[in-house]
Structure 1
Amino acid sequence: MSKITFLGAGSTIFAKNVLGDCMLTPSVDGFEFALFDIDHQRLEDSENMLNNLKTSLGSNVTIRAYTNRKEALRGAKYVVNAIQVGGYEPSTVIDFEIPKKYGLRQTIGDTIGIGGIFRALRTIPVMLDFAKDIEEVCPDAWFLNYTNPMAALTGAMLRYTNVKTVGLCHSVQAAVPKLFEALDLDDEGVQWKIAGINHLAWLLEVSKDGKDLYPEIKKRAAIKQQEKHEDMVRFELMNRFGYYVTESSEHNAEYHPYFIKKNYPELIEKFNIPLDEYPRRCVNQIRDWEKMREEIVNNQNLTHERSHEYASYIIEAMETDQPFRLHGNVLNEGGLISNLPAKAVVEVPSLVDRNGITPCYVGELPEQLAALNRTNINTQLMTIEAAMSGNREHIYQAAMLDPHTAAELSIDDIVSLCDDLIEAHGDMLPEFQKKPTYV
């Protein structure tokens, strides 16, 4: 029996989306869905939910929950990763509240920035443990990573393990439809080209019937900027740098040094930036879960429609040899994007079939876009260096290279902030507890 293993299966809604999609994929008929999570109650919830969904959809997959990770992975053909190490409490709270004491504010904190750095540092060791198990009990499995920070985690897996890994995010496939909806444009028949890095990929071309749509997009965006809306940062970036970026304004506000500045508090209002958005979202989700739980977990009439998440389409393409095109996060080997570093993880068009995932050559990005990507790549690569070396000074350096952190804090304050975060995370970062000795 072929097997899909879902790590972090206690993420019940996401498990419903990804594995519900797989239930609606004929080529997955008869597979085992192996569920693993360290939270046994949430694991049981997901198992119940998926069994109900299986019945209502008439699927003949097998749902099985495991409390032993290695057994969950044994013999898997595909592994879906959706973990969050440290959860909302204590880790996310620490990542947001300690930087506030230094006047450093964040919106999401899961990609780069000080929050992204520390999320990566506590997650990479767990991912490497996964890799050891995979190399032992399912060495041919494809590892489909949905966990953030996408570039740092995927880069660590690709550079330091033998696991076949691709990073998956839904920001690319949602970018053009949401942009056109916001500007009251019809996206039917539109052709587009996107490439860059995760959460900072660029709409390089957009056309319909051979006509470049960027002039009309920029015209409408300029008008829309005269009123408050949720995408003001992205429209400002497009105005200043010439191209639309895939991920949301709430994310991009903290990827650059221009928008969240303690000496310019008026920018928060001007660009409608939702500070502390991720902790607020977590609190709301925790509050609402018990209300939703009965409806989702124990609903024997639960239904599902196939989503735009990539996992089921990848599996379908590999199982049937019917090609599928996606935007995957892969190493920039061979200069897929020729003006970005080779060690970087880039988000580029990729073809999937029985042979696996084949990234497509993009060439050079416009230089201003490559420059913006490189500022984020610097921090990503230095964060991986810190995680793999156990060298505390590399954490300081990753933070010093982060555009937002460096724009706000002095070097001494960055070092002090990192020390406070390392101490607060404690056992989550055991290898970094000893401070370096300076001569």
Structure 2
Amino acid sequence: MSKITFLGAGSTVFAKNVLGDCMLVPALEGFEFALFDIDEQRLRDSETMLKNLKRSLNKNITIKAYLNRKDALTNAKYVFNAIQVGGYKPSTVIDFEIPKKYGLRQTIADTVGIGGIFRNLRTIPVMIDFARDMEEVCPNALFLNYTNPMAVLTGVMNRFTAIKTVGLCHSVQVCTRDLFKTLGMDPEGVQEKIAGINHMAWLLEVKRNGLDLYPEIKQRAREKQRTKHHDMVRFELMDKFGFYVTESSEHNAEYHPYFIKSRYPELIENYNIPLDEYPRRCEKQIQEWDAMRDDLVHNISLDHVRSKEYGSRIIEAIETDVPFKFGGNVLNTGRLISNLPEKACVEVPCIADRSGITPTYVGDLPEQLAALNRTNINTQLLTIEAAMSRKKEYIYQAALLDPHTASELSIDAIISLCDDLIAAHGDWLPKFASSDTFAISN
């Protein structure tokens, strides 16, 4: 029996999307779907839900929950990862509230920025533990990572472990469709080319029947900017740098030094930036889960329609040898994007088939786009240095190089903020060695 393991299976709604998709793939008949989570109640909820879905769909698969991670991984062919180390409380709350005391505001805080750095630092050791287990009990498995911060975590798995890893995000497959919906344009028959880094990949080409659609897109976007809407940051970036970026405006507002500035508070209103968006979203999801839990978990007539997630389609392509093209996060080995660092994790078109995952060569990005990507890659690579060396100086340097943090705070304030976050996260972080080089000046 072949096996798909889901780490973080207590994310019941997401487990339904990803494993429900897999149930709809004929080539996966007879597979075991192995579930693991450190929260046993949430794990049992997902097990019950998936067993109901299996019966409703009349599928020949096995659903099994495990309390031991290594047992869940043993002999797995594919491993999905959807964990959140430290959860909303205490860790995400810490990532937002302590920076606020320094006047540093965030929207999502899960990619770069001070919140992204610390989410990485508490997640990387867990990912390395996953890899060590997999190297022992399923060394040839494909690791499909959905956990943020995507670029750093996928980069760590590919650089420092023997596990084949690809990072998967929703932003590529919805980028053009959502842009056209916002602008009232028809997406039918559109050809696109997207590449960059996760959450900051670029719509490099968008055509229909060979006709470049960017002139019309930009004209409509400029007209749209006359009134408030949800995508004002991305439209501003497109206007000034020439290309549309894949991830949402609330994300990109904190990836750049231009939009969230205490000296210019009017920018928040002008660009319609939702500060503290992620904590509000978490609180809403907690309330919604309490209301929907019984209907989802104990619904014996539960149904499923295949979602937009790439995971099941990648596995189907590998099992059937029918190629599938998708936007994947992989190491920039051989300079897939030639003007980005080789150690960076890049988001490029990839092909899945029986041979596995094959990323495609992109070449140079337009120089202004590569420059914007490098501002985030700098922080990503220094965060990896911090995690792997356990030296505080690299934490400080990662924060000092972050575009938004550096645009708001002084060197001393950034170092002090990092120290406060290290103390507040406590045992959620590994121990880091101090450096006299970074003493705060008087």
TM-score normalised by structure 2 residue count: 0.98
SS in 2 for 1:431: coil
Q: Match of 1:187, as an amino acid?
A: P
Residue 259 in 1 paired to residue 265 in 2? no
Q: Distance in 2 between matches of 1:78 and 1:430?
A: 28
Q: Is 1:9 equivalent to 2:27 in the alignment?
A: no
Q: Equivalents in 2 of 1:436, 1:337: separation in Å?
A: 35
Secondary structure of 1:257's counterpart equals coil
Structure 2 residue aligned with 1:313: 313
Matches within 5 A, 1:98-113: 98-113=98-113
Alignment of 1:108-187 (within 5 A): 108-187=108-187
Matches within 5 A, 1:21-170: 21-170=21-170
- The 5 Å alignment of 1:215-234 reads 215-234=215-234
Identity %: 74
Paired with 1:29 and 1:111, the residues of 2 have a C-alpha distance of 36
Equivalent residue, structure 2, for 1:337? 337
CA distance in 2, matches of 1:177, 1:285: 25
**1:430 shift after superposition:** 3.0
Please, what is the CA RMSD of the aligned residues?
0.7
- Distance between the aligned counterparts of 1:121 and 1:353, measured in 2? 34
| Structure 1 equivalent of residue 284 of structure 2 | 284
Q: 1:108-164 deviations in whole A, cap 9, x for unaligned? A: 000000000000000000000000000000000000000000000001100000000
**Counterparts of 2:281 and 2:167, CA distance in 1:** 23
Is the counterpart of residue 424 in structure 1 residue 427 in structure 2? no
Letter in 1 for 2:403: P
The CA distance in 1 between the partners of 2:184 and 2:218, in whole Å, is 13
CA contact (8 A) 2:86 2:92 kept: yes
Q: Deviations over 1:398-420 (max 9, x none)?
A: 00000000000000000000000
CA contact (8 A) 2:122 2:430 kept: no
Judge conservation of contact 2:391–2:434 (CA < 8 Å) in 1.
no
Please identify runs of 4+ aligned residues in structure 1 that moved more than 2 A. Answer: 434-439
Q: Report Cα offsets for 1:282-327 as digits up to 9, x if no partner.
A: 1111112110101111111111100110110010011011110011
State the shift of 1:59 in Å.
Answer: 1.0
Instruction: Give the structure 1 partner of residue 271 of structure 2.
Output: 271
Asked whether the equivalents of residues 145 and 154 of structure 2 are also in contact (C-alpha less than 8 Å), the reply is yes
1:338-369 CA distances to partner (integer Å, 9 max, x unpaired)? 00000000000011101000000000000000
Kindly indicate whether residue 245 of structure 2 is the aligned counterpart of residue 245 of structure 1. Answer: yes
Question: What amino acid is the match of 2:251?
Answer: H
1:296 corresponds to: 296
Aligned residue number for residue 434 of structure 2:
435
Number of equivalent positions: 438
Structure 2: stretches of 5+ with no match in the other structure: none
**Matching of residues 392-411 of structure 1 within 5 Å:** 392-411=392-411
User: Structure 1 residue 195: deviation in Å?
Assistant: 0.3
Per the TM alignment, residue 188 of structure 1 is displaced from its structure 2 partner at its CA by 0.4
Q: Quick one: distance in 2 between partners of 1:98 and 1:200? A: 26
> Does the aligned pair in 1 maintain the 2:177–2:187 contact within 8 Å?
yes
CA shift for structure 1 position 436: 2.7
Unaligned segments of structure 1, at least 5 residues: none
2:18–2:309: 8 Å Cα contact kept in structure 1?
yes
Deviations 1:29-82 (A, max 9, x none): 110000000000000000010011111111111000000000000000000000
Partner letter of residue 163 of structure 1? I
Rounded to whole Å, the distance in 2 between the matches of 1:437 and 1:138 is 43
Amino acid across the alignment from 2:202: W
Q: Which amino acid aligns with 1:73?
A: L
Letter in 2 for 1:436: S
In structure 2, C-alpha distance between the alignment counterparts of 1:91 and 1:119, rounded to whole Å? 8
Which amino acid in structure 2 is aligned with residue 330 of structure 1?
V
- The whole-number CA distance in structure 1 between the counterparts of 2:121 and 2:253 is 22
**In 1, Cα distance between the equivalents of 2:210 and 2:159?**
40
Instruction: Give the TM-score taking structure 1 as reference length.
Output: 0.99
Distance in 2, matches of 1:59 and 1:253, equals 44
Structure 2 residue identity aligned to 1:378: N
CA distance in 2, matches of 1:248, 1:437: 40
